[in-house]
A and B are shown apart, each in its own frame.
Chain A
Amino acid sequence: QAGLTQPPSVSKGLRQTATLTCTGNSNNVGNQGAAWLQQHQGHPPKLLSYRNNNRPSGISERFSASRSGNTASLTITGLQPEDEADYYCSAWDSSLSAHVFGTGTKVTVL
């Protein structure tokens, strides 16, 4: 199954803003939107937002998501050391009848 495309890495300074992108097609991201997951080394993924910009309870407002066409974005404001992690997008693909994941973006806080 084809995946979603993410840049491999993003590096920003402490308290700066990082924007991550996730590109799919009209069957997945462009259909029901994307979810964003954060994964620290050695831990399971954690949901940050779903269907573009719905945050589960307990998720910081520093994480905000959006979508334009077939591309979803996650913006992290006021970067903190604990934000260093891998970030994945995911979406349901109605054509494949499958969940598809992004290739992942490693965020480094300088």
Chain B
Amino acid sequence: EVQLVESGGGLVQPGGSLRLSCAASGFTFSSYAMNWVRQAPGKGLEWVSYISSSSSTIYYADSVRGRFTISRDNVKNSLYLQMNSLRAEDTAVYYCARDYRSIDYWGQGTLVTVAS
């Protein structure tokens, strides 16, 4: 069974940093590209970033480029999102999601709240 478990969310002040992690199991992590997708309270889904299986290809949404960094560790079966210079508008549930012909499996999400 595919499982994606996010962690690392919490309350952070504007301008602060946070690192999200996603532990993957139930599939060969190193064979799949991965994404981070977020959802602000009461709003729709917003794609944040993509990383290929070997980390050779990385993409970011315009809204986070230069502030967020996606990475992965195929030995630890883990995906990461380093978030710097956080803004109020980054407040959202952040989902780790597998990429196979589309975004197919999603984690339960971790809430990031940016507020003073």
Contact = CB atoms under 8 A, between A and B. Distances in A.
Contacts of B107: 44
Interface in B67-116: 95, 101-109
Contacts of B103: 35, 37, 47, 90, 99
Interface string A87-102: 0101010000111111
Nearest to A43: B108
Given A44-B95, A98-B59, A99-B35, A56 B104 contact: yes
Interface string A68-110: 0000000000000000000010101000011111111000000
A90 B61 contact: no
B27 interface: no
B50 A46 contact: no
B106 A46 contact: yes
A39 to B, nearest CB: 8
Q: A interface, by DSSP: helix, strand, loop or mixed?
A: strand
Contact of A101 (B44, B50, B62): B44
B103 to A, nearest CB: 6
A100 B103 CA distance: 11
Q: What bracket does the count of chain A residues touching chain B fall in?
A: 20 to 34
Contact of B50 (A37, A51, A99, A102): A99
A45 B45 contact: yes
Centre residue among B37, B45, B47, B107 by max chain A CB count within 10 A: B45
B109 A44 contact: yes
Contacts of A63: none
Nearest to A91: B102
Contact of B47 (A35, A37, A50, A101): A101
A36 B106 CA distance: 13
B105 A47 contact: yes
Given A35-B103, A47-B103, A98-B61, 8 more contacts: A1-B62, A44-B95, A44-B108, A44-B109, A45-B95, A56-B104, A88-B45, A101-B46
Interface of A: 1, 3, 35, 37, 44-47, 50-51, 54, 56, 88, 90, 92, 97-104
